[in-house]
Amino acid sequence: MTDSPEDQLATYHSRRELAVVQPTGNLALVNTQWVSSEQSIWGVPGTWAPAEGGLSVTAAASDDIVVDGVLVDGTTLVRGKDAAEPSTVVFSDTVSGFVIAGDDGQYALRVWDSNSEAIQEFGGIDIFDYNPEWVITGTFTENPEGTTLGFEQLKSDGKTKEHVIPGEIRFSKDGVDYNLAAFKAGRALQLVFADATNGESTYSVGRFLFLAPNPDGTITLDFNRAVLPPCAFSYNFNCPLPPKQNRFGVPIEAGEKNVLKKDGSLLHG
């Protein structure tokens, strides 16, 4: 017997709530700090500096920084996530880190705390009840190879980042035609969208929906699986913003709404 759509959504939702409190889940990120010169980084020991392929860290053995399983006593390279074998950093039983690469060649240290204040305060992710009206079948038409679209990011001061757009997603609902742009995210497509609920019953910045085209040229958009972006959980993420064609003038009352504290108030109110 197949579970009902409501039961499937409940399972999906419980897995989402479990994922965000993992040691490198969204709620565990406590700092993202870009390093352009020799400097300290908030919340962790050591002196950090730009280096070929990542960051260097200089520390004494008493600082208890472990990079790739080796205690740092001197200066060590911390390879970025763009390396074939990225480095891992451990600061304590609960605090860890890794280095991310920016588009401009700079690197940043991301610091994760599995016992962060946000994890301690987390009460749950508020969601809409299952809404069959927002399970939509559209068409997916491949774009010419190399088609891109510039996406602004939350902290980019109006600058855009080009993302590859593999194809056009089209559908009609309530007499309105939509042509959406989703970019590649691993093996899936990532739709970054906004709608009339944002800032009212849902997170103000927008939401994400992950999709995969069907072999017959259709694509299913189940907005009940719409999720909050990482920046709804931690201010230390820099999320893409919905482009103009992905901004719905109607409310999409399906999917995740907001991150809540244990007392039911907004985690980021």
Q: Where are the alpha helices (DSSP H) in the chain?
A: 5-19, 117-121
Mean pLDDT over all residues of the chain?
Answer: 95
The CA-based angle 26-186-240, given to 5 degrees, is: 55
The reported pLDDT for the residue numbered 139 is 97
First to last CA, the chain: 42
Give pLDDT tens digits for 39-62.
999 999 999 999 999 999 999 999
The total number of residues written for the chain in this structure: 269
With 0-12 CB in 10 A as exposed, 13-18 as middle and 19+ as buried, what is 32?
middle
CB 180 within 8 A of CB 193: yes
Best CA proximity match to 228, nearest among 201, 262, 189, 265 = 201
Give pLDDT tens digits for 102-138.
988 899 999 999 999 999 999 999 999 999 999 999 9
| Confidence band of 255 (pLDDT split at 50, 70, 90) | very high
- Per DSSP, what are the bridge partners of residue 202? 198
Best CA proximity match to 194, nearest among 244, 139, 260 = 244
Q: With 70 as the cut, is the pLDDT of residue 269 above it?
A: no
Q: Where are the alpha helices (DSSP H) in 67-140?
A: 117-121
By DSSP bridging, strand 122-127 and strand 256-261 are: antiparallel
Would you kindly state where each structural domain of the chain is located, as residue ranges?
26-113, 123-261
CA separation for the pair 138, 194 (Å, rounded):
18
CA separation for the pair 267, 234 (Å, rounded):
9
Q: With 80 as the cut, is the pLDDT of residue 267 above it?
A: yes
Average pLDDT of the residues in 234-252: 95
Q: Which sign, positive or negative, has the C-alpha torsion 114, 7, 242, 213? A: positive
Report phi then psi at 164, rounded to 5.
Answer: -70, 130
The reported pLDDT for the residue numbered 121 is 97
The reported pLDDT for the residue numbered 258 is 98
Structure tokens at 127: 């969601």
CB 163 within 8 A of CB 183: yes
